[in-house]
Amino acid sequence: MKSETYRNTKQRSRILEILCHTDSHPTASWLYDQMKPEFPSLSLGTVYRNLGILEEQGLLKKLRSGSTFDRYDANTYPHAHFCCTECGSIYDMRDVEIPDMVQTVNKQTPHNVLEINLSYMGICEECLKKK
């Protein structure tokens, strides 16, 4: 049973503060290393639990969300995907254009962009039926 009330803890507010002051999209263990000096008895479990709570509160987002499995696709032609956040299934979006922005974007960034990764997240047809 999930609780609806959250308490303020030093650990949790520090995590959010660090996340708000960096744009490096940290991992849990990076946050752990950052906080360890200030909270010597901090544990990784606490970091993970708080990240989960902050995400529930909508204060942060977990990147590359979706399932935790590797998935494989024999269609190597660039195409967009639809990822269902309920059941985890992934569909091809055959009819949706994937804008060829590689050249455009390369002019706007110092990095070397090689590939676009475009996916649409939402609820799939099957899961919609079940509601």
Q: Which residue has the tokens 């024999």?
A: 74
d(CA 106, CA 108): 5
Our CB check for a copy of itself shows the closer of 1 and 21 to be: 21
Phi, psi dihedrals of residue 80, rounded to the nearest 5°: -80, 160
Q: Contact at 8 Å (CB) between 36 and 42?
A: yes
- What part of residues 78-117 is at the interface with a copy of itself (CB under 8 A)? 81-85, 89-93, 95-96, 99, 102, 105, 108-117
Q: Which partner from the list a copy of itself, DNA, none does 79 bind, CB cut-off 5 to 8 Å by kind? A: none
45 binds a copy of itself (CB under 8 A): no
Please choose, out of 46-54, 89-97, 100-108, 111-119, the segment that lies near DNA by the rule CB under 7 A: 46-54
